[in-house]
Amino acid sequence: MKSSGGSVRSRERAAFWLRWGLASALRCCCWSGRSKLKQSCDVLIVGGGPAGLAAAIALRLRGADVLVADALQPPIDKACGEGLMPDSLDALSRLGVDLPPDAGAPFRGIRFVDERSFVSAEFGGGRAGLGIRRLTLHSLLVRRAEEAGVRTAWGSPVVVQNGLPIRVGGERCRYQWLVGADGHASRVRSWAGLEDRTLKHRRFGFRMHYRVRPWSPYVEIHWSDLGQAYVTPLSEQEVCVAVVSRFPERARVREFVNSNPLLRARLYGAEATTRERGAITTSSRLRRVVSGNVALVGDASGSVDAITGEGLAVAFRQAALLTESIAAGDLARYASQHAGTLRVPQTIAAAMLLMDQRPSLRRRVLRVFAERPALFQKLLTVHLREEPLPKLLLRYGPELGARLLLAGQF
């Protein structure tokens, strides 16, 4: 006789608990005083965006009983550049997320463009990234979570108040581990006393979609004194245009496009297929991301400016690291290694934001890259973790510095 889904789940959960020992299991049983709690799980994840769902899927694949709670209903949208780099696609593949052929459009590299120069770099080994609508990606993650057996509480407000138990949909929830995946303004972070953070940069992002045939096999980043515009192919007849700027009143998508001759020509007469959507992007770092049995993941745990396009890749790395730590029954590893997930992206972001703040430096850097594309190619390998940043700086730093000095003389 075949086992029922419930008995399979029970065996998986029992195996998961055995790794932590009987004492932990008893502490997280579904009884509280004289009444049985209706909401009980091994891991409660507050926030059902890509970071929370990636962590949920990874934990469920290790046998944990996971509950994801979010006040919104899927699919959940967010303004972003909508480009997945090859390492993000690898992470999704490890989670078992199936990306149908028509889910998006491939791109083979990155191109920087300004009014004087352009330079391109391709991913090595014939690899490609994928331009995909945020709504499509979220739907695929939700589907995979459900297939894996993750329990979800969509449309369920999560009440997080200091000194009080967490309530999901009006009911108290008992859990062994609590994961805050609730974004920049994380309430779990505040509830757990983890608000000690450094906010390094804050900028504004806006996104629209246009019905037009992609003109480039790359994700193009168009630089100007107003900020950057990311153009990502999404299908044979659609592109995403995302603008990131320090000047929200001057750098909405239409204003940026009209101020940029190249983009204005490319998008002339193209129909906007969606309304403009905005978001805040930051670079921030927390002193701690763990408190007792509470851990933060994704933007709740620190963030990288959207200029790097690294937000989802960082979240997926953190989700994998967090899963290993919870499976081992100890968040110390996650606490000690979390900073490493942000180190390279934030270093790259700091350099690119310096270019954003100093137009003359940006023109010199792009001119050097255009004259020496191999330097830009090497930078992309660091971005994808294919080569360590110190090695790149040691080998190419002197040449880059000399070229920048020479470029400044003309």
Give the C-alpha separation, 152 to 350, whole Å.
37
Give the C-alpha separation, 244 to 79, whole Å.
10
Pairing label, strands 66-70, 43-46: parallel
> Considering only CA atoms, which of 224, 163, 232, 227 is closest in space to residue 201?
227
Residue 66, SS3 per DSSP: strand
- Contact (CB, 8 A) for 70 and 179: no
Residues of the chain with CATH 3.50.50.60: 5-76+135-199+283-346
Which two tokens mark 325? Answer: 């730590």
Give the C-alpha separation, 221 to 81, whole Å.
10
> Taking each helix axis from N to C terminus, what angle separates 373-383 and 389-407, rounded to the nearest 10 degrees?
150
Give the residue carrying structure tokens 């998986």: 12
Q: Which strands form 104-107's sheet, in the order they lie side by side?
A: 83-84, 129-132, 104-107
Q: Is residue 359 reached through a cis peptide bond, with omega within 30 degrees of 0 on the bond before it?
A: no
- Contact (CB, 8 A) for 291 and 193: yes
Give the C-alpha separation, 168 to 159, whole Å.
7
- Contact (CB, 8 A) for 309 and 242: no
Give the C-alpha separation, 324 to 375, whole Å.
36
Is CATH 3.20.10.10 the classification given to domain 5-76+135-199+283-346? no
CA triplet 348, 298, 321: central angle to 5 degrees? 90
Which two tokens mark 402? Answer: 């000399």
Sequential pLDDT tens for the chain (410 residues): 444 455 555 555 555 544 444 334 433 433 333 333 447 999 999 999 999 999 999 999 999 999 999 999 999 999 999 999 999 999 999 999 999 999 999 999 999 999 999 999 999 888 999 999 999 999 999 999 999 999 999 999 999 887 777 899 889 999 999 999 999 999 999 999 999 888 888 999 999 999 999 999 999 999 999 999 999 999 999 999 999 999 988 779 999 999 999 999 999 999 999 999 999 999 999 999 999 999 999 999 999 999 999 999 999 999 999 999 999 999 999 999 999 999 999 999 999 999 999 999 999 999 999 999 999 999 899 888 888 888 877 777 777 777 777 766 44
> Taking each helix axis from N to C terminus, what angle separates 311-327 and 50-61, rounded to the nearest 10 degrees?
30
pLDDT attached to residue 284: 93
Beta bridge partners of 86: none
> Considering only CA atoms, which of 267, 263, 241, 261 is closest in space to residue 253?
241
Which two tokens mark 111? Answer: 């191109």
For 339-361, letters b (16+ CB in 10 Å) and e give eebbebbbebbbebbebbeeeeb
Given 3.90.1150.10, 2.170.120.12, 3.30.70.1450, 3.30.9.100, which CATH number is that of 99-131+200-281? 3.30.9.100
- Contact (CB, 8 A) for 387 and 381: yes
pLDDT attached to residue 8: 53
H-run or E-run covering 251: none
pLDDT attached to residue 16: 53
CA dihedral (178, 179, 182, 187) positive or negative: positive
H-run or E-run covering 223: strand 218-224
pLDDT attached to residue 386: 86
Residues of the chain with CATH 3.30.9.100: 99-131+200-281
> Considering only CA atoms, which of 163, 110, 98 is closest in space to residue 136?
98
Q: Which residues contact 254 (CB under 8 A, 6 or more apart)?
A: 208, 276
Pairing label, strands 294-296, 177-180: parallel
Residue 273, SS3 per DSSP: coil
pLDDT attached to residue 5: 52
SS (H, E, C) 29-45: CCEECCEECCEECCEEE
Fill in the amino acid letter for 156: S
> Considering only CA atoms, which of 388, 314, 309 is closest in space to residue 82?
309
pLDDT attached to residue 248: 86
